[in-house]
Amino acid sequence: MKQLKRFIHYYKPYQGLFYLDMFCALVLSGIDLVFPVLVRYLMSDVYEKKPPNMLELILITGGALLVLYILRYFCQKFITSWGHIMGARMEADMRRDLFTHLQELPFSFYDNSNTGKLMSRLTNDLFDISELAHHGPEDIFISIMKILGAVAIMLFMDVRLTLIILGVTVVIILFTAFFNIRMRSVFAKNREKIALVNAQIQDSLTGIRVVKSFSNEAIEAAKFEDGNRQFLDTKAESYHLMGTFFSGSSFLQGVLYLSVLVVGGIFLWQNSINTADMVTYILYINVFLNPIDRLVNFTEQFQRGMTGFTRFLEILDTQPDIKDRPGAVALQNVKGDIVFENVSFSYEGTSQVLNHINLTIKAGQNIALVGPSGGGKTTFCSLIPRFYEVDEGRILVDGTDIRDIRLSSLRGSIGMVQQDVYLFNGTVRDNILYGRPSATDEDIIKAAKLANAHDFIMELENGYNTYVGERGVKLSGGQKQRISIARAFLKNPPVLILDEATSALDNESERLVQQSLKELAKGRTTLVIAHRLSTIQNADCIVVLTANGIEETGTHAQLMQKGGVYASLHSESVKLR
Ligand code: ADP
Ligand code: MG
């Protein structure tokens, strides 16, 4: 019920449209109810009795009907176009709310959700909701008006016939409801199976290189055929059901007409009803059957829409746990002192990743983090911009607890270059500009030059206006990385985090990228996670991080002399080369 209330809330901005829509629905049902009455009048009072002014009466009734139909035309047009548009506007509002909210949610939310499912919520679920938003009230309203109106008039004309009609109608309703439930479950199964087929296709196509290199095309085809077969089977099942349902309901409707014809015929024979009433009756069955169908369908639509809406609320009600505290401050002229004080952290449902970490990084220092894979280096770095919240202890930037710094200010002072570079759909310029949207073209070119990217960009077909990303030119890993470094230059942050930025690159690209990174690191507090120990020998301080916490800290020379974890990591890496 609370959900329904929140659903209704989305009608608020469109109240005017909503009431107009309902008014049109009212007029429309009224007109549909009047038609049989007019027919009855014409048959009994005009066609049969043939009064002297018969022609006049026919023309007047015809004229009145024409006016009603013209009115009906406008009402129906309004409902179909503006009713749908109202639903679509509500859908757009909900989608905006959801998207804005999704942007606010922290990494921990995305760690536990599947992008495909989120996409389907933003599209399918919301479409179901909008259909309900528009058809729901109107369908209920029109249907109830028509059913009540028709039953009242029919009862007034002949109670016995009406009771027979209602009896058969109950059978029709039960029949329809029964099949609705069964079809719903089969359709759900259908959707499940096609999702499996799609996932299979996606998996195989994404991994096509692996498939081919192992010559496993036949195995993939067999896996696919299995799912494809199952989908076909459930589809067949749903068509069998549909076959029985549609022919069954036509049959029952036939029975309804037939009972009126036979029973009404008997009444006619007994002279307890007249032909005009009989014809009117049959016309009312028409008015009556369609809304019953609609009402039964509505229960399904309501369920689907509400399920969608519940899922929509589920996300909307997920509170971002990482947000600005009241009274959070913006840092001015960040120097870049970073202190970890007794910091512990674990991901949701994992064991402790960082254990009571203490570390002081002075502004402008170049710190290298090394350690075994899975030792927590990336995690360590993601705590500084507050991508995740520490469980224990605190992190200070320039002496202020990061939880007391505005997120925009904190994250604005930190630049990150990671192993995977994501380039948005757009031009090279757009992608560099992402680092500081207010930058001028000159700034962009300067940043690209510093990042060793200008030359290759100029060689692209359209220079800085070349499209990259999903639909654009393919750039090599090293080129993408240099664009992301240009982005960081443009942002010009006092604190820089380089997380294995070159580990996906070949030697030649690595050399170029290393050069640009060295340039980028100048004059900033820099945290480097390197996969090659040879690149960090000049660091001011090397921190060895393992599952046990910080094992050692010191310069290359100090740690080599100590002969501990670092020294053995180093001798291993020398052996590998
Ligand atoms: P490193 O960068 O040193 O290789 P990470 O910081 O990536 O190590 O990972 C440290 C540990 O945390 C690993 O055991 C990893 O499985 C786990 N981990 C990393 N990211 C997540 C995450 N988003 N959710 C849950 N566990 C994670
Ligand atoms: Mg890592």
Ligand 1, pocket residues at CB < 6 Å? 111, 347, 350, 353, 371, 373-379
Å from CA of 378 to ligand 2 middle? 4
Residue nearest to ligand 1 atom 18, measured at CA = 347
> Can you give the pLDDT at residue 431?
94
Query: Nearest-CA neighbor of 397 among 408, 405, 389, 387?
Result: 405
What is the H or E stretch that residue 376 is in? none
Rounded Cα distance between 496 and 549, Å, is: 22
Å from CA of 437 to ligand 2 middle? 29
Å from CA of 500 to ligand 2 middle? 7
Residue nearest to ligand 1 atom 10, measured at CA = 376
- Among 112, 353, 381, which residue has the most ligand 1 atoms within 8 Å of its CB, making it the best to mutate? 353
Angle between the N-to-C axes of helices 15-41 and 275-316, in degrees from 0 to 180, rounded to the nearest 10: 170
Å from CA of 373 to ligand 2 middle? 7
Amino acid at 213: S
Rounded Cα distance between 92 and 122, Å, is: 10
Residue nearest to ligand 1 atom 6, measured at CA = 376
What is the H or E stretch that residue 23 is in? helix 15-41
Rounded Cα distance between 424 and 546, Å, is: 35
174-177 contacts at long range (C-beta below 8 A, 24 or more positions apart):
175/248, 175/249, 175/252, 176/245, 176/249, 176/292, 176/293, 176/296, 177/296, 177/299
559 contacts 542 by C-beta, under 8 angstroms: yes
Nearest atom of ligand 1 to the alpha carbon of 545: 3
Q: What is the pTM of this model?
A: 0.81
Give one word for 363, left, alpha or beta, with left for phi > 0 and alpha for psi -120 to 50: beta
ipTM of the complex: 0.98
Ligand at minimal distance from the CA of 418 is 2
What is the H or E stretch that residue 467 is in? strand 467-468
DSSP letters, 138-187, are HHHHHHHHHHHHHHHHHHHH-HHHHHHHHHHHHHHHHHHHHHHHHHHHHH
Å from CA of 376 to ligand 1 middle? 6
Q: In sequence order, which residues have a C-beta less than 8 Å from that of residue 50 and are 6 or more positions away?
A: none
Rounded to the nearest angstrom, the gap between the alpha carbon of residue 5 and the centroid of all alpha carbons in its chain is 22
Can you give the residue ranges of every domain in the chain? 2-316
Mark 132-157 as b/e (b = at least 16 C-beta within 10 Å).
bbbbbbbbbbbbebbbebbbebbeeb
Residue nearest to ligand 1 atom 13, measured at CA = 374
Å from CA of 387 to ligand 2 middle? 14
Q: In sequence order, which residues have a C-beta less than 8 Å from that of residue 523 and are 6 or more positions away?
A: 364
Residue nearest to ligand 1 atom 15, measured at CA = 374
Ligand at minimal distance from the CA of 370 is 1
* Assigned CATH for 2-316: 1.20.1560.10
> Can you give the pLDDT at residue 65?
94
Rounded to the nearest angstrom, the gap between the alpha carbon of residue 239 and the centroid of all alpha carbons in its chain is 30
| The pairing of beta strand 392-397 with beta strand 467-468 | unpaired
Rounded Cα distance between 92 and 86, Å, is: 10
Ligand at minimal distance from the CA of 382 is 1
258-264 contacts at long range (C-beta below 8 A, 24 or more positions apart):
259/164, 259/165, 259/168, 260/161, 260/164, 260/165, 260/285, 263/160, 263/161, 263/164, 264/161
- SS3 for 377? helix
Nearest atom of ligand 1 to the alpha carbon of 107: 23
What is the H or E stretch that residue 71 is in? helix 54-78
Q: Percent helix, strand and coil across the chain, each rounded to 5?
A: 65, 10, 25
Ligand at minimal distance from the CA of 374 is 1
Å from CA of 100 to ligand 1 middle? 28
Ligand at minimal distance from the CA of 376 is 1
> Can you give the pLDDT at residue 276?
87
Query: Nearest-CA neighbor of 21 among 92, 100, 75?
Result: 75
Rounded Cα distance between 403 and 387, Å, is: 11
Amino acid at 11: Y
Query: Nearest-CA neighbor of 7 among 104, 120, 128?
Result: 128
Rounded Cα distance between 31 and 33, Å, is: 5
Å from CA of 387 to ligand 1 middle? 13
Rounded Cα distance between 251 and 4, Å, is: 37
Residue nearest to ligand 1 atom 23, measured at CA = 111
- Among 111, 346, 347, 373, which residue has the most ligand 1 atoms within 8 Å of its CB, making it the best to mutate? 347
- Among 350, 351, 527, 551, which residue has the most ligand 1 atoms within 8 Å of its CB, making it the best to mutate? 350
Rounded Cα distance between 465 and 458, Å, is: 10
Å from CA of 384 to ligand 2 middle? 15
Query: Nearest-CA neighbor of 360 among 379, 343, 339?
Result: 339
Nearest atom of ligand 1 to the alpha carbon of 373: 4
Q: Which residues of the chain have pLDDT under 70?
A: 471, 575-577
Ligand at minimal distance from the CA of 388 is 1
Query: Nearest-CA neighbor of 43 among 251, 276, 253?
Result: 276
28 contacts 139 by C-beta, under 8 angstroms: no
pLDDT tens sequence across 270-329? 998 888 888 888 888 888 888 888 887 787 788 888 888 888 898 899 988 898 989 999
Rounded Cα distance between 561 and 306, Å, is: 68
Å from CA of 374 to ligand 2 middle? 7
383 contacts 403 by C-beta, under 8 angstroms: no
